Amino acid sequence: MDAMTDDLKRADDAIDFRAEFANSGVADVFDELERDLVGLAPVKKRLKEIAALLLVDRARARFGLSAVSPTLHMSFTGNPGTGKTTVALRMAEILHRLGYVRKGHLVTVTRDDLVGQYIGHTAPKTKEVLKKAMGGVLFIDEAYYLYRPENERDYGQEAIEILLQVMENQRDDLVVILAGYGERMERFFQANPGFRSRVAHHIDFPDYSAEELSQIGERILAGMNYRLSETAADAFERYIELRKAQPHFANGRSIRNALDRARLRQANRLFNSERPVTADDLETIEADDILASRVFSGGIDSYPPQQKEPNG
């Protein structure tokens, strides 16, 4: 009789997942993600799937339906400037709001933060980073640089072994995200199968289309109280097409750098103007501010010039 009563109580105790989604605050995080990042529909879809899994697991726990906590270590692959770091930050917030991690902070590192220069240096460096990241998310950018097999005195393997142990034994208190270029990450996983077996979610970040890059530019300018004139908007569309075809293009980051340079040109143009300037002048980027870029004369428009921009 008691078992039947429990079954009836469980049947009456239905859970409204839409309400749970809203009340958890996760909906707010996804709203911020939409405001922060143009496009990336497949990435946002995967994040919602992960959030749904955690919501269902939380609901199952209320009914006494125990389950093993899911492994949420991830791999973010894609070219620079596609939003990987921003998504990692929002992922940390989602995991915290759904109770998967205690703090929800993001610690971003590269090889230099983990790997030492001499014997006995790597272990304390790696452990210190892990200590800071516990309760949140550790984001390792360009993770394939952790180990350089061509260097006989490389200490990256020691960092990898420590990371693998923590990813397995403390996965309830830390999520590790490995990030970098797709092909290099694939080679890294092939050389380090321990990582592949511990990473449950492989998320690819596509390059932005020209239209999306134009929208990103508009958002960046609007956030700083600038706008493109009609002729400048046309020039900027041409700039995007030419810049995308050049080396070292970094998607959203390259767009931001280009607009910073356009603002610099606008400031100098206005400073040297022979007439008083209006508020409209101050907020308007004109076509000349865009067309003065080296990209229109066949030059390489990268920052720093001719150097690889960091991934992220």
Predicted pLDDT of residue 268: 97
Q: Is residue 117 part of a domain?
A: yes
Contact between 106 and 139 (Cβ < 8 Å): yes
Instruction: Indicate whether 201 and 215 sit together in one domain.
Output: no
Per-residue pLDDT band at 61 (split at 50, 70, 90): confident
Q: Is the pLDDT of residue 302 over 70?
A: no
Q: 136 and 245 share a domain? A: no
134, part of any domain: yes
Residues in the chain: 312
Arithmetic mean of pLDDT, 19-43: 88
Residues 255 and 293 in one domain: yes
Q: Where residue 311 falls among pLDDT bands split at 50, 70, 90?
A: very low
pLDDT confidence of residue 41: 94
Q: Which domain holds residue 278?
A: 210-297
The pLDDT, as a whole number, for residue 20 is: 80
> What is residue 3's predicted lDDT score, i.e. its pLDDT?
54
Confidence of residue 4 (pLDDT cuts 50, 70, 90): very low
Q: What is the CATH classification number for the domain harbouring 235?
A: 1.10.8.60
Answer yes or no: do 28 and 156 share one domain: yes
Last residue of a domain, one of 184, 205, 226: 205
19 within domain boundaries = yes
**Is the pLDDT score of 9 beyond 90?**
no
Contacts 24+ apart (CB under 8 A), 56-63: 56/17, 58/20, 58/98, 58/99, 59/15, 59/17, 59/20, 62/13, 62/15, 63/10, 63/13
Residue 308 lies in a domain: no
pLDDT of residue 152: 67
The DSSP line for 210-237 is HHHHHHHHHHHHHHTT-EE-HHHHHHHH
Q: 126 and 198: one domain?
A: yes
Please tell me the predicted confidence (pLDDT) of residue 149.
Answer: 73
> Average pLDDT for residues 165-172, to the nearest whole number?
92
Choosing from 158, 181, 205, the residue where a domain stops is 205
Answer positive or negative: Cα dihedral of 114, 33, 73, 204: negative
Note whether 75 and 194 are same-domain residues: yes
CATH of the domain at 50: 3.40.50.300
Q: Average the pLDDT over 46-65 and give the result.
A: 88
> Of all residues in the chain, what percent carry a pLDDT higher than 70?
92
- The pLDDT assigned to 17 comes to 79
Checking if the pLDDT of 309 tops 50, the result is no
Q: What is the pLDDT of residue 308?
A: 42
Average pLDDT, the chain: 89
Last residue of a domain, one of 158, 177, 205: 205
Instruction: Tell me the pLDDT tens digit for each residue of 218-245.
Output: 999 999 999 999 999 999 999 999 999 9
Give the three-state DSSP class for 52.
Answer: helix
Q: 15 with 157, same domain? A: yes
Nearest by Cα to 217 from 247, 241, 240: 240
> What's the pLDDT at 16?
83
Q: Comparing 57-61, 64-68, 251-255, which segment has the lowest mean pLDDT?
A: 64-68
On whether both 84 and 43 belong to a single domain, the answer is: yes
Model confidence over 98-108: pLDDT tens digits? 989 999 999 99
Is residue 71's pLDDT more than 60?
Answer: yes
Structure tokens at 55: 């919501």
Per-residue model confidence (pLDDT) at position 306: 45
Q: How many structural domains does the chain have?
A: 2
What per-residue confidence (pLDDT) applies to 80? Answer: 93
Question: Domain for residue 309, yes or no?
Answer: no
Nearest CA-CA partner of 266 in 278, 252, 282: 282
Residue at 310 is within a domain: no
148: confidence class by pLDDT, cuts 50, 70, 90: confident
Q: How confident is the model over 131-139, as a mean pLDDT?
A: 97
159 and 28 belong to one structural domain: yes
pLDDT of 43 reads: 96
**Per-residue model confidence (pLDDT) at position 254:** 96
Q: Are residues 12 and 99 in the same domain?
A: yes
281 plus 195 within the same structural domain = no
Specify whether the backbone of 83 is left (phi greater than 0), alpha (psi in -120 to 50) or beta. left
Q: Are residues 170 and 224 in the same domain?
A: no
- Residue-wise pLDDT for 196-217, tens only, equals 999 999 999 999 999 999 999 9
pLDDT band (50, 70, 90) for residue 64 = confident
Instruction: Check residue 154 and give its pLDDT.
Output: 79
